[in-house]
Structure 1
Amino acid sequence: MAKVELAMDIRCSTGESPVSYASGNVHFVDIEGCMIHAFDTVANRPVGGVSTNGRMVGNVVPCASPGLPGFDLLACVETSILPVNFYGNDVSGTYVASVPDSDLNAAKPIRFNDGKVDFQGRLWAGTMAMDPEQNPESGRLYCLERGKSLNGGEKRASYDLVEKISPVGISNGTEWYGQHMYYIDSLQPEVCVFDFDEHDGSISNRRRVLHIPDTQGLPDGMTIDANGKLWVALFGGSSIVQIDPETQTELMTIQVPALCPTSMAFGGKDLSELYVTSGGSGEEKKGGNSEHRGGLFRVHVPGVKGLSFSRAFTQ
């Protein structure tokens, strides 16, 4: 039986984008709280936070790019991607890339949401409308790749933000396994899959893996275990669910003590723990009042381990 416990009583407005390290640390963001947090899963304590200075931050990923020396994270902040030195408390003001002007509309403002790095070190990050109910097709999914030249003669490399999926409602979970890429647009109540070319990052042949009924909540963030099974957070459904993408069936549902789980990552020293973020403001909007809404939760499922620690951007 799964064991679920509160790891960090942080009360995020919208916790999101947990990333794990072999050291045992986990980073995650509070989107509206404009913060990047860290939690030491071994010592079982917070280990600091960095403000994005009033700018909403959709996700963070580890960074080990030779073109970005001195930075350990990339953060998708509003409509730009910024390098971060977390332990130096520095969110660089110089962006790596930004959403193209052609995808911006002042009357329909957007921001970055969830993102993740593939096994070739490319960052995939998606956007959503600030008001997705009014503007349900304003989002995109992009891939950040190394550019062809240096940036304005500087030593730092240039990067291209390449559109991969359009339109998108609320861009969320992304994962890879073999020659497949799995993806969630939360306004499409399903998990879908693409054929994926790891060499050039191209995707094709979109099809459904599993429909998620409204009664279960909105599919949100996603991760994958060592056996290729998907784990999906159900926002508004107080649960996370394990899915077999081959048989297109739900294998296991685990209740968490918050109405709006948002995403998760396998972590701990041996990838045997799931760290689940949650949204406090989303729960309040839905009339929920759980004691630890917005918290970071730890889930242990006997016999289940993650496929890998979070991958770093290396382009």
Structure 2
Amino acid sequence: MSATPDILCIGSVLWDIIGRSAIVMRQGSDVPGRITRLPGGVAMNIAMTLARLGLRPAVLTAVGRDAAGDELVAACDRLGVETGFAYRSDDLPTDQYMAVEGANGLIAAVADAHSLEAAGDKILRPLADGTLGSAGDPWRGLIALDGNLTVQLLAEVAASPLFAGADLRVAPASPGKAERLVPLMGHPGATLYVNLEEAGLIAREVFADAGAAAEGLLARGAARVLVTDGGRACAEGTRGAGVIVDAPPKVMVTRVTGAGDTFMAAHIVAERRGADRRAALAAAIRAAATYVSGEMPS
């Protein structure tokens, strides 16, 4: 294992199998395109971007001791992501995610993160056994946490002394898992990164735009939130400091899977480098726009 990581990324690390076509698609479409297999998962996407931007991330996740898991660990190491703290399971297969994207965006996706869910709190052992922290001396640095963990485990994280001193950055894995983040709304050190749909699901309300969503989540107890809305204006809201809004540049969209994770990672790095609220939001928006345009490597 390397020196103490700059940030811990907790959640899904798996194989992304993505089919992309430059053609507009609908249900039942059968079109030419390209299929790629790359390391992915919310925690991994964030970690890869952090590594590209100069940080030393480590992942806390579950990876099988199968051929796919060995390949995945080797790929992570090449990308500068520390896997030495990950839980390697002898009886759980390595997770995977499959998506189809057309010129009109994401068509469909299936996330098979059952092994991560089955591993449960085993992935958090390094934070409890003294390797990275303990209940009496918790980790006090940055943690990126994704919503692929179970509802029960996320609720435990929200109340656990192991996370009491952390700068906790939280993202849902998908709109379907957004409501899992509700227990973390009250964590004083938590920053939630959500899109407009996810914000509405958490708040159980329909919001007109990202600014309104940020206001709504703060009113419901969140300490800090960032809300994206595709190519429309994004917002950052902080309790006691209000909401700020900025709009992304117009770009040609060539991919969407991983854009939110890139936004989150770029925002974290900008703040770590001393950027204020407006500069950090602008940096995150630029990074996400560059990513969806295809100019940033996967």
TM-score by length of 1: 0.34
Instruction: Please identify which structure carries the higher strand content.
Output: 1
For CA contacts below 8 A with separation 6 or more, give which structure has more relative contact order. Answer: 1
Q: Pick the structure with more helix per residue.
A: 2
TM-score (norm 2): 0.35
